[in-house]
Amino acid sequence: MKKLMFVAAIAAMAGSAFCIESANTVGYMTPQLGGEYESLLYGNMFVPVSSADGSWQLSDVTPTGMDPTGDNIQILNDDLDAEYEITYIDAAFCALAKKDESNIGWWDMNDPFGDAESRLDDMTIAAGTGFLCGMYSGNDVTFTFSGEVANGAIQVTNSDGAGGTIESPIICNPTAKTITLAQIDAEGFDPTGDNIQFLNDDLEAEYEVTYIDEAFCALAKKDTSYVGWWDMNDPFGDAESRLDDLELAPGAAVLGGFYSGNEVSLTFPSAL
């Protein structure tokens, strides 16, 4: 039953408002992230206009309904601790705090209205990665993501750029459409040590999913019809353990659990 409830939550986000504003694939999307769903992994399903690498800034996202005393987004480190707890201050909160509207924007939740270092509008987040939503006020929070629809595949890796790997990145669907795992090309997975996790509202893994490639099929003496996404706890199992059809809504994210030490990559399809 919990699995069905989690899929329903993802489906609700997939029904977000979406508008193509021109033939040039510019658009916006406004998923609801608060209310019933307190803790979700999420990211941007667009890229900034003319971005060279698809990275985006918090200023590319505009929320409504955030209570700066109870709602935040968290950028996690490799130990899954919050490196940043970030909230949004809107015009109403500025008025309540008797501050002018130049303070509207993203702030360190522990130092709102602080100095320049506490102002986080310019924080850059790599394409295909995201954040943890901590929406505890009970408000209905919506985020408006806007930009260009990515024209071409986007690859996300767990490389830290310094010869090492990141064990637990947050990986989001960076395309402006719902996709299945079967549409994501995976490389480098060790099915005995690497997985992606679909989390529920309690931040527990509803699914731990791994990828079996041709090399692992050969090692296990299985034919290549087994290539694809599987329940990590039952690889080569029955039909219920084959998870190629599991969906990711635009911007919805999973938690990487990459413990083999391999450099793993996930390549998302073009949204066009």
Q: Where are the domains positioned within the chain?
A: 2-148, 154-268
Does residue 7 carry a pLDDT above 60? no
**Separation CA 24–CA 63 (nearest Å):** 25
**Separation CA 166–CA 78 (nearest Å):** 6
Give the number of other CB atoms < 10 A from CB of residue 202. 9
- Band (21; pLDDT cuts 50, 70, 90): very low
- Band (30; pLDDT cuts 50, 70, 90): low
Does residue 33 carry a pLDDT above 70? no
Identify which of 27, 22, 71, 63 has the alpha carbon closest to the alpha carbon of residue 45. 27
40 vs 5, 73, 222, 240, CA distance in Å?
Answer: 14, 9, 36, 25
pLDDT, tens digit (0-9, with 9 covering 90-100), for 163-173: 778 888 899 99
Does residue 217 carry a pLDDT above 70? yes
Mean pLDDT of 66-91: 92
- The three-class DSSP label of residue 95 is helix
Which range, of 128-142, 147-161, 201-215, 228-242, averages the lowest pLDDT? 147-161
Q: Provide the pLDDT for residue 31.
A: 59
Q: Which residue has the higher pLDDT, 8 or 144?
A: 144
Q: Which residue has the higher pLDDT, 77 or 219?
A: 219
206 vs 1, 60, 119, 171, 197, CA distance in Å?
Answer: 10, 30, 35, 16, 7
pLDDT, tens digit (0-9, with 9 covering 90-100), for 92-111: 999 999 999 999 999 999 99
